[in-house]
Structure 1
Amino acid sequence: MNHLNIALWGVPPYLVLVTMFAGTAWRYRYDRFGFTSRSSQLHESRLLGIGGPLFHCMLLLVVAGHVSGLFVPEKITDDVHVTEPEYHAAALLMGGTAGVLCVAGLAILLYRRLRVPAVRRATSRSDRVMYALLGAAMLAGLAATASTMANPYDYRLGVSVWFRSLFGLDPDVAAMAASPLVYKLHALLGMALLALWPFSRLVHAFTAPVGYLVRPYIVYRSRGMRHARPAARRASGSGSPVR
């Protein structure tokens, strides 16, 4: 059993990390113009306008919750006088709400992709695998969040300890091995999704137009206005030769 735990929680995280970064670098080198979500807005925009913002906005909150739960040790929240019941109540309320809305947004996007023939035809094999993994990982995460209502397991003393130990190149395999099955499933699905990341449309997340926030304004001049000004001057007599 110890060998199995090492094979699951000691080796795959580093293989996934190498695959993710090497795959992203390879795709940027040989498929730079493929860093796109392959927008299908021209085929259908109503459902996309609802599901797209809902999914992406809620996903940002879900990611923020994961960063907080995995990177922030319990000692820090204790130092700022946030008790464990308070922390878990806030995580259940905010994380659960964001997770449910995120799944709802994904469901709308999947319904659109199945319902609109042109969008369905534009769905690649990697898209199908990615959507399946993404949906399964999100549902497993919701199940793990919901399980905290009945299960006293504190993931910040188990899963989070294992996750932070990876950065020290000394994985705490025992911490992850002792976690409930739903957390293990969520972690495995998450690693599979990250390994697929460079080879799917998810790679477009690395091309977020952050530079648009700080770039200077672009001034556009109408060609019609340029021709209208000389015409106005001629009409008013300005610029005509003096006799």
Structure 2
Amino acid sequence: MNLLDQFLWVIFPYLSVVVFVVGHIFRYRYDQFNWTAKSSEFIEKKRLMIGSLLFHIGIIPVIFGHVGGLLIPKSWTEAFGISNHMYHTVALYIGGIFGVITFAGMLILTARRFTMSTIRKLSSASDLIVNALLLFIIFMGMYSTLVTNHVQPEFDYRESISIWFRDLFVFSPDASLMAAVPVSFKIHMISGFLIFALWPFTRLVHVWSVPLNYARRSYILYRKNRGQSVHH
């Protein structure tokens, strides 16, 4: 394997994870005031609602599909009587349906951000990059599933990508496993790790901002005192 393959399939994944973790720690410690997403709902609601709804409906099954496909060994599904043909048929149709829903939602959200001048002015450069990159990642995933798998039906990512990915967790990734992987799958994987590296420095950090202490927060009481509004 050449140096480029070693970098892409051995160094780059770990580098992305390190940047992801260290970047979050750094930003949380020194940039908490910007740990949020600028809302554009007051500018336009209809396309935001439709795009966001479609994206979230689709992305959750897609994530679970990726986790199952990458982390569950082929031998395990076969042990439960799931044939290779059955597995790929379900992955193609179910994954394809939710992939299309996710892509449609992301396309609406991206078009909204790029084509509406008021929202584009509100957006930072990182906002635009994230939207475009997420749309590209989803598109490449759809292309790999619906086109590449049709053109190269003999390719089984569970015999190459999945093994390589699981080996990352035990610090022994084999770059040679990715040699025969179709280009569309490679681009999808690389762009996926790239979004992880960019995550801490973009609006994506707001997904971790779950208001867990909201339920036990004290009420804010307002009452009038000598003609002035006072709150406690």
Shorter chain as denominator, the TM-score bin is 0.7 to 0.9
* Alpha-carbon separation, structure 2, partners of 1:210 and 1:60: 21
Corresponding residue number in structure 2 for 1:203: 205
Corresponding residue number in structure 2 for 1:169: 171
* Alpha-carbon separation, structure 1, partners of 2:79 and 2:213: 37
User: Do the aligned partners of 1:52 and 1:105 also contact (CA within 8 Å) in 2?
Assistant: yes
Corresponding residue number in structure 2 for 1:104: 104
The structure 1 segments of at least 4 consecutive aligned residues displaced by more than 3 Å after TM superposition are 208-212, 215-223
Shift of 1:3: 2.5
User: Do the aligned partners of 1:44 and 1:116 also contact (CA within 8 Å) in 2?
Assistant: no
Measured at CA, do residues 209 and 177 of structure 1 come closer, stay the same or move farther in structure 2, by a change above 3 Å?
farther
User: Do the aligned partners of 2:114 and 2:128 also contact (CA within 8 Å) in 1?
Assistant: no
One-letter identity of the residue aligned with 1:129: I
Pairing of 1:49-198 with structure 2 (within 5 A) = 49-146=49-146, 147-151=148-152, 152-198=154-200
* Alpha-carbon separation, structure 1, partners of 2:81 and 2:59: 28
Shift of 1:73: 0.7
User: Do the aligned partners of 2:77 and 2:83 also contact (CA within 8 Å) in 1?
Assistant: yes
Deviations 1:101-148 (A, max 9, x none): 111111111222234332111111111221222111111111111121
Instruction: State the aligned residue count.
Output: 222
SS of the residue corresponding to residue 148 of structure 1 reads helix
Unaligned runs of 5+ in 1: 224-243
* Alpha-carbon separation, structure 1, partners of 2:58 and 2:14: 28
SS of the residue corresponding to residue 173 of structure 2 reads coil
* Alpha-carbon separation, structure 2, partners of 1:14 and 1:57: 30
Shift of 1:217: 10
Unaligned runs of 5+ in 2: 224-232
* Alpha-carbon separation, structure 1, partners of 2:77 and 2:31: 44
TM-score scaled to structure 2, two decimals? 0.88
TM-score scaled to structure 1, two decimals? 0.84
Shift of 1:216: 6.4
Shift of 1:221: 9.1
Measured at CA, do residues 69 and 209 of structure 1 come closer, stay the same or move farther in structure 2, by a change above 3 Å?
farther
C-alpha RMSD of the superposition: 2.2
